Amino acid sequence: MDVIPAIDLLDGKCVRLYQGDYGQAQTFSEDPVTVARQWQAQGAPRLHVVDLDGAKAGHPVNQAIIGSIVRALDIPVQVGGGLRDQASVADILAQGVDQAILGTVAVEQPDLVAQLCQDFPGRITVGIDARHGQVATKGWLETSSVTATDLAQRMAVLGVTAIIYTDIQRDGTLQGPNLSALRDLAATLTIPVIASGGVSSITDLLSLSALESLGVTGAIVGRALYTGDVQLVEAVRAVGSGRWQDVPPQAGSTTLA
């Protein structure tokens, strides 16, 4: 299973939110590119980047920083936040981003998702952010009447590469992932599911890796890496994925708190 470090961008800085609340943003670094290089050096198989400003504004905001991150790395980068039209998706993929992550449009414009899957085959992922099982949109500021499972099944039919499932109530809390929700969701799909939200320890990652047979192929880790609760080198070794074979012993994680 892949352990995927997260970089959330707000006002050009690397931050973490608590349960998706923009008013509870903690800054961990003012240099996201350096942070990205650090995660790569410690064996990350890919990087997850969220343009929080873009998610809130409804259009990408941090394109320049994202472009700098992509150019600085050799590993794939997946990006979400404010990607709500064909031009925005085309632009972010043209910068070298591996996967464009769609959120709000999956609920509001499924026809656009279908078209993007045709235009960019194998490069469209859908992020489903759920609050009490209902899909949240517009940077988690609104909650729809659509259930996460229903939306995931619809998106799989359209041809998306994977589903990233975030339990908003767990995100940034270090309370552990919602294993039952992930198990139920993955069991209904034939495409990979990437878990996000709440990972607080290597024990949590091992619990997630036990769901790999159901299709949970990755786990996005944010706050726990920045606080040092999870050391990335140890995590990628523990779950048997990533680039850890190439990481020298002296490259142990550095807490960014």
Three-state secondary-structure class, residue 156? helix
The DSSP H or E segment spanning 41 is helix 32-41
Question: Alpha carbon of 207 to those of 1, 115, 167, 189, 239: distances in Å?
Answer: 11, 36, 16, 19, 10
Residue 104 counted as domain residue:
yes
DSSP 86-98: HHHHHHHHHTT-S
207 domain residue, yes or no = yes
Q: Which structural domain, as residue segments, surrounds residue 99? A: 2-243
Specify the pLDDT at position 72. 98
Alpha carbon distance 212, 218 (integer Å): 8
C-alpha to C-alpha distance for 203 and 200, rounded to whole angstroms? 8
Residue 228: CB atoms within 10 A of its CB come to 12
Whether 91 maps to a domain, the answer reads: yes
Give the pLDDT of residue 200: 92
pTM assigned to the model: 0.89
Residue 134: predicted pLDDT: 82
| Residue 77 within any structural domain of the chain | yes
> What are the tokens at 68?
């700098």
Q: CA angle 242-104-220, nearest 5°?
A: 20
What letter does residue 159 receive in the DSSP assignment? T
Residue 236 phi, psi (nearest 5): -70, -30
Is residue 256 one of the residues assigned to a domain? no
> Per-residue confidence of the chain (257 residues) as pLDDT tens digits?
999 999 999 999 998 877 667 777 788 999 999 999 999 999 999 999 999 999 889 999 999 999 999 999 999 999 999 999 999 999 999 999 999 999 889 989 999 999 999 999 999 999 998 887 788 876 556 677 889 999 999 999 999 999 999 887 665 556 788 899 999 999 999 999 999 988 999 999 999 999 999 999 999 999 999 999 999 999 999 996 655 455 554 454 444 54
Q: Is residue 254 part of a domain?
A: no
For 38, what's the count of Cα atoms within 13 Å in the CB-facing half-sphere? 19
250 within domain boundaries: no
- The catalytic residue positions are 8, 129
Q: What is the sign, positive or negative, of the torsion defined by CA atoms of 218, 224, 226, 228?
A: negative
What pLDDT does residue 119 have?
97
Query: Looking at residue 255, what is its pLDDT?
Result: 46
**How many Cα atoms sit within 13 Å of 212 on the Cβ side?**
14
How many domains is the chain built from? 1
Give kind and range of the element (H or E) at residue 55.
helix 52-57
Q: For residue 140, what is the domain's CATH number?
A: 3.20.20.70
Q: What angle do CA 115, 182, 143 make, to 5 degrees?
A: 60
pLDDT in the model for residue 151: 95
Supply φ then ψ for residue 17, to 5 degrees: -95, 160
